[in-house]
């Protein structure tokens, strides 16, 4: 069965607060003090989510589909 939503997690220990994610996709990410967090942890599948996770300079964003990490992509 295919998941209808993806789950976004931000490793706040790893996040360096570059705000690349919030600047690129403000509908998906926001800054909380000096760290990123998802606006909503569960989102509709969309290539933009994967692209933003891939663009994180410290790879602090993970996107999960049914518990399986699908981003960042190798």
Q: Is residue 14 part of a domain?
A: yes
Domain that holds residue 27: 6-71
What are the backbone dihedrals phi and psi of residue 8, each rounded to the nearest 5 degrees, phi first? Answer: -105, 130
The owner of tokens 């993806």 is: 6
Q: Is residue 20 part of a domain?
A: yes
Terminal alpha carbon distance of the chain = 24
pLDDT tens by residue, 12-71: 999 999 999 999 999 999 999 899 999 999 999 999 999 999 999 999 999 999 999 999
Q: Looking at residue 30, which CATH number applies to its domain?
A: 3.30.70.20
Q: What's the number of domains the chain is made of?
A: 1
Comparing 4 with 39, the larger pLDDT belongs to 39
Partners of residue 8 on adjacent β-strands: 63
Q: Is residue 1 part of a domain?
A: no
């Amino acid at each position: 069965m295919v998941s209808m939503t993806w789950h976004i997690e931000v490793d706040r220990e790893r996040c360096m607060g570059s705000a690349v994610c919030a600047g690129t996709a403000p509908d998906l990410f926001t800054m909380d003090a000096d760290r990123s967090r998802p606006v909503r942890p569960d989102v509709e599948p969309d290539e933009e989510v994967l692209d933003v996770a891939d663009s994180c300079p410290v790879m602090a964003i993970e996107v999960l589909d049914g518990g399986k990490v699908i981003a960042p992509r190798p």
